[in-house]
Amino acid sequence: MNKIARILLDIAAVGWLALIITALILTMTSCSFNIEAEAMPPVHSLYNGLSETEQGVYDSFNAIERANVNKNTEMHQLRQALDTLQFKYDY
């Protein structure tokens, strides 16, 4: 009886080790390592002057889009770049 219990204990220990190693491998491989990923640029200095709708549009941009929008220096340029329907442009 003691021999059978020891064998079952060894099988359980090997099973747990296999489970932990598999979980670690799956966790490490699920992380994406995208070489082309860019850091998110900081928010525009005029960000606080935007409406909530415009801020929502601005926040939805990815790093490349945000970098392009950040090139605008005037509020009316920034609002045109965001292109929300809230403002009517007459420029």
Q: 22: buried, middle or exposed (CB in 10 Å: 19+, 13-18, 0-12)? A: exposed
Q: Residue 54: its pLDDT value, please?
A: 85
Position 91 scores a pLDDT of 42
Q: Report the amino acid identity of residue 18.
A: A
pTM of the model: 0.51
In the predicted structure, residue 76 carries a pLDDT above the cut 80 = yes
Structure tokens at 63: 């790093």
Q: What does the domain layout of the chain look like in residue ranges?
A: 1-32, 40-91
The answer on pLDDT for 20 being more than 50 is yes
